[in-house]
Each structure stands twice: as structure tokens, then as C-alpha cells.
Amino acid sequence: MKRLVFRHKRCFPAAMCAICASICSAEVPAEVRPDSAITLKELNVSASRKPLATVQELKGTDLQSLSSTSIADALKYFAGVQIKDYGGLGGLKTVNVRSLGAQHVGVYIDGIRITNAQNGTVDLGKYSLSTLESVSLYNANKLDICQSASEFASGATVYMRTRRPDRDSISLLGGWSSFHTWRARATAEFARKGWCGFIDAEYLNSRGDYPFRYKSQYEDTVGRRRNSDIEFTRVEGTLFKGGFSSHMYAYFSERGCPGGIVRRLSDKYNNVGREWDTDIFVQASYEHSFGRQHRIKANAKYTYEYLRYNTDYPENQNTARVDNHYWQNDAYASISYSFSPWHFLSLNCGYDARISWLDADLKKFCPVRRLDQKAVLAAQFDWRSLRLAASILYQHYKDHTELKTGAADPLSRFTPAITLGYSFLGISLRGWYKCIFRAPTLNDLYYTQAGNRNLKPEYTRQWNVGVEYQYGRGPWSVSAQADAYLNYIDNRIVCLPLKGTYTWSMMNYGKTFCRGLNATLSGVAATRGWRFSLTASLTWQKDLNRTNPDDPDTYDKPICYSPTLSYGITGIIAWRMISLTVSDLHVSKRMWSYADPRDILEPYNNVDLKLTARYLGITASLEVNDLLDVQYEHIPRYPMPGRSFRLTLSYSFDAIIKSVKTRKI
């Protein structure tokens, strides 16, 4: 059977996290920097927020204590999150929240969405944790004041907030890890006269030849992953001043795309594919307040993405020999304004426009252009203990193409969201509803020999009730939250073979109904040089297929790949300049087909350790991922790496620079 959609792969994990809705809550990092004013403005905003949105956040020391390199590793400990990972550093890693599907999760850097016009998903493996101040996950809306319209347009949103340096420094980092992996990073930061920013450059090279083993009654397959190498260079720069922020990002990579581990008599033939990526974006944002009542924010972004996928190799006897190139350009601008006529009311409106161009040297393909416009009206009402937020979002999509299949009809839709909250005695109750859709992507509509221009949008409706409690200040604090939810998804966009032909096509097919519970608990204690932190998250859900009532084999049966139970526990013990992070992640069994009850992915536990020591600007860390060498999979026959080690050494010159600076002054 021919498959049209090309494949990526994925990679590995490690991690930990902390979850706290209580943004400016009271964690006192072990190495408190008295002068770390971070951004005062943001702090103020955070401080004024009472918990209303459903949010989990990981930041500061906890974030850096993670045994991880990519944000996928950090997110996997959030409640309600499923990471889909094809294994290996180069493997495609996407995040799915509450089983909505990866394309319903918006990923934002400093308030501006990362987009992929082609397939609508973001490969989290391309973004580093090292440049981030915090990572947060919001179910439904963030409910900040002055948000852009596109921030209302996803079922769930991941916010990555870039670190704002508070001093001048230069740091160098070198690391070695298992499977022939090494990396180097250099960062220069500055902060003076209200301006701050950094340049961060990283290079990584990994052969990714990790061992795997499949052992069952019917097989004992031992092997090493082949064609799982990756090499990338990432360069990022930022510049901030007050309400102005800007970010430049460039990522260049080459990687192998290994296939599933299937029965072969030898390694003589391999369905090898290789992929080259270039991702570049520049973005800027400006926010300004007028008096106490008005606030305005403008965003602009330009993205260029290039992808080359090549299978034209002699050892590839299995697929077409393709060497395809894809180009995407994306220009985005938004403006939003908020107005607070009284202290208990704020109104927010916003307009976003995005133009995307996609071109590829596929047969029967020609450039596609999409204009995507969004407008939002939102209101927040905050009266004593009662809070209410409501928004209505309008989206309009219009495509232009010379393709003979023609452009899809323009799409216009309104979707609402509403949130209600009430607080008493440190307890906050909340309930919300959100309806949102994802528009078919350009791939879905126009990809040669699969695209279907008649696709309808895929709708999600989410209901949620939650409670949050917070206790303590200063060195001691505990917070807990729990949310119960219902999700309905209609008109899922899937690729299926057409009835009575040999070809595949995108179709609207499928409904799901999901009931779930997310709970998190976190506690921090700090005393005399010691700091203890414990975070636990738990997800329980029943995610049911409601597609075809006439099919007893699938109707009301669990959705494939969806675990019923997953939990993560992370503990951090720090003493002066030494810290130890231990985390354990559990994912229960998942079925991957309805055909045989034995078609399951086994449950697994991942235990990760990270030991870090600092001395005079030198930081050394040792990480062990998958300590117990558990063999597991997210996708059948795509094994994940087992136990691996990582050693990292870094040296920061910041103390020296600082002292020189002080002397000059």
C-alpha cells in the first residue's frame, strides 16, 4: 500500500517539572539572586492574577533542574499531556493535551504562535529549554488581559517564555551523552540601561544508534537503531526593553528518518529516508499601557521554513525514490487592545492576520496561499470573589491556488468560550466551556494524491470544572488543583484509503468523547541552605470512540494510543550548590488496534535522575534517563531508547564580567 505522507521520527525524554498555577507563588530558589528583578511588568501582571484558568507551569530553577533538552521532556510531566514520540533525538515529538490531538495544541513563544502551515503540528524537539524562563500549559484560554486573537484559537496552549537576562555573562557548555552524542553551546547575555538580551548558539551531533529489544512469546529481536542520527545548529537571539521584546530563531538540521522495526532477514535493504530542515523566524512584540485603563499590544512575525526529504539511496528498495523540497513563508501581525473602565471589568479586542505561502516540487502541485484572519472580543469581570470571563472568536480562512483541484471554499466561523470562577478561604473553584475548531491544514487540503479540498473543520467542545487550593508563603508552600473534564471532538480529519480504490485521502471521519480527571500537587520547603520540592501530576481519562454506532468492535471502545492512567512525580533536593532531581513517569497500557486485545503498547515507568553541582561558575551535571532500562514505545515498532547517560559541563563568566563592570562604575 502506498503511503503518501512522509514520516518523521522522534526521540527521547527525561524530565521533570513542577506545576503550579500560582504563578508568583513562593518558591525561593536555592541560589536566590537578590538582584534578579526579572521583568517587573510581567510579575505585576502575574501577581494580580487570581487562579481562573486551568494552568500548569514549570519555571526557573525547577525548569533548569529538569533532566531534559527539549520542551517535550518538560511537558510530559504535566497532567493531561501525552507526548507522541517516534524515538531518538531526531524523532518527531508532538504534544497532545487531553486527547484533543496535536493539531489542537497551540505552541507560543512570548505570546506569538509557532505555526506550520503544512501540517499544523509543532515538532517540540526543535526548541530548547535552556533559553526559557518558564513553560506553561493552559487548557482552553490563558485569560490574560490584552491577548491576541490567535491566543484564543487553540484547544490548549503551551506558552514558552524566554528568559530575560539580568546581568552580563558569557557561558560555554559542552556535553557528552550515550549513543555517540555530543553538543556544545555558547551563550552571551547582557543587561544594561533597561535593555537586555542574549545570543545563544548550540550545535548537536548524535549518531542515535541506541540498542533496543523486543521480547515476547513470538520474538526476541535485538538490534541497534539505524539511520536515527541527527545533527543540528540552533542560533537564537533576543532583545528586550520594557514592553518591547524581540526574538530571532534559526535552526538547521539534517537527520535520518528510520522506519518501524519489522521482520527482515538482514540489514541489507533499508527504507532509508533523510530530512533536512531550516526553520527561521523573527518576531517582535510591543506592549504599552496608557494610564490605568488602556493597554495596547502589537505583534509581528515572519517565518521561513524549508524542508527537504530524500529517499533516493541505493539501499532503499522499498519506496519511491523521491527528493522533495517544501518551502513555507508565513507573515503574521496582530494588534490587541484592552480597556478597563472600572477595576472590576476589563474588555479585550484583537485582530490577527496571517498570510502563509506553501510551495513544493511535488508533481501536480503548485503554490498555495492562505489568508487567515481572526478577531476576538473578550471581557473579564472580577467582583470580589466572583470572576467571569467570556470571549467570542471569529475566524476566516481563504485560500488561493492554481491547483487544478481548486481552492477550498472560504471558511468563516464564530466560536465562544466562557469561564466562571469563585474563591473563598484560599480555595478557588472554576468552570469553563470552550468550543474551537482546527481548520484543515494546507497538507490536508492540497497535498498531491491525498488532499481533499472538501474537508470540514474539526471541532472540539470542552467542559471543565476544577478546584485549586494554595497554602503557605515564603519558604513553605503547598498547592493542589484538580480538574474534571469532558471533551467532544467531531469531524476528525484523518487519512484513510478511499473505498474501492487503492489510494489514500484525507477525510472527515470520526467522533470521540473523553471524560477525564487531571490533578496536580506540589510542595516546596526551603530551610538553611536546603530546598525540597515535590510535584506530582495525575491523569485519568476514558477516551472513547463514538464514530460508528453500528460497529460493536470500535464503538465506545477506547481511542487507540490513549492511556487510561498516567502520572508523574518529581522530587528535587538541593543543598547549597548541589541538587538532585529524581522523577518517575508512568503511562498505563495503550491499545493500538481494535483487532486483537493483544495489540497493546505495554505500560511503562521511566525513572530519570539528574545530579548537578556548581562551583565558582562551573556547573557539572550527570543525568541518567530511563534508569531501569525499560523498553517501551509510543508508536508500535518504533522503539524508544533505553537507559542513557549524559554528562554536561559548563562555565559561566558572569561573575568576572560583573566585577569588572562594578569597578568601572
Q: Which residues bind another protein (CB under 8 A)?
A: 1-3, 217-219, 259-266, 268-269, 271, 314, 317-318, 320-322, 324, 362-364, 404-406, 448-449, 451-454, 496-503, 505, 547-548, 551, 553-554, 560, 592-596, 599, 636-637
Cα 306 to Cα 328: distance, rounded to the nearest angstrom:
6
CB of 590 to another protein, least distance (A): 12
Which residues are within 8 A (CB) of 139 and not within 5 positions of it... i.e. 6 or more apart?
Answer: 53, 54, 55, 80, 97, 98, 156, 462, 464, 483, 485
CB of 98 to another protein, least distance (A): 21
Cα 279 to Cα 662: distance, rounded to the nearest angstrom:
39
CB of 557 to another protein, least distance (A): 9
CB of 320 to another protein, least distance (A): 4
Cα angle for residues 248, 251, 254 (degrees, 5° grid):
175
Cα 478 to Cα 467: distance, rounded to the nearest angstrom:
14
DSSP string, 476-511: EEEEEEEEEEEEEEES-EEEEEPTTSS-EEEEE---
Residue closer to another protein by CB (options 33, 637) is: 637
CA gyration radius for the chain?
A: 24
Cα angle for residues 626, 632, 634 (degrees, 5° grid):
115
Residue closer to another protein by CB (options 197, 259) is: 259
CB of 410 to another protein, least distance (A): 17
Residue closer to another protein by CB (options 574, 635) is: 635
Give the cell for residue 636. Answer: 508500535
Cα 154 to Cα 136: distance, rounded to the nearest angstrom:
14
Query: 352 near 374, Cβ under 8 Å?
Result: yes
Residue closer to another protein by CB (options 499, 663) is: 499
CB of 208 to another protein, least distance (A): 18
CB of 452 to another protein, least distance (A): 6
CB of 211 to another protein, least distance (A): 18
Strand partners, 235: 201, 250
Please give the distance of CA 335 from its chain centroid, rounded to a whole number.
24
Residue closer to another protein by CB (options 7, 461) is: 7
Cα 336 to Cα 352: distance, rounded to the nearest angstrom:
8
Residue closer to another protein by CB (options 32, 366) is: 366
Collapsing DSSP states into helix, strand and coil, what is residue 654? helix
Residue closer to another protein by CB (options 453, 461) is: 453
Residue closer to another protein by CB (options 320, 618) is: 320
Residue closer to another protein by CB (options 351, 592) is: 592
Strand partners, 245: 240, 285
Which residues are within 8 A (CB) of 205 and not within 5 positions of it... i.e. 6 or more apart?
Answer: 181, 182, 183, 230, 231
Residue closer to another protein by CB (options 4, 349) is: 4
Residue closer to another protein by CB (options 86, 179) is: 86
Please give the distance of CA 318 from its chain centroid, rounded to a whole number.
33
CB of 601 to another protein, least distance (A): 11
Cα 265 to Cα 259: distance, rounded to the nearest angstrom:
16
Query: 49 near 25, Cβ under 8 Å?
Result: no
CB of 136 to another protein, least distance (A): 34
Give the cell for residue 339. Answer: 480597556
- The DSSP H or E segment spanning 223 is strand 219-224
First to last CA, the chain: 72
Query: 543 near 28, Cβ under 8 Å?
Result: no
Give the cell for residue 458. Answer: 474539526
CB of 273 to another protein, least distance (A): 12
Residue closer to another protein by CB (options 41, 321) is: 321
Give the cell for residue 15. Answer: 524530565
Query: 352 near 373, Cβ under 8 Å?
Result: yes
CB of 401 to another protein, least distance (A): 13
Give the cell for residue 536. Answer: 506530582
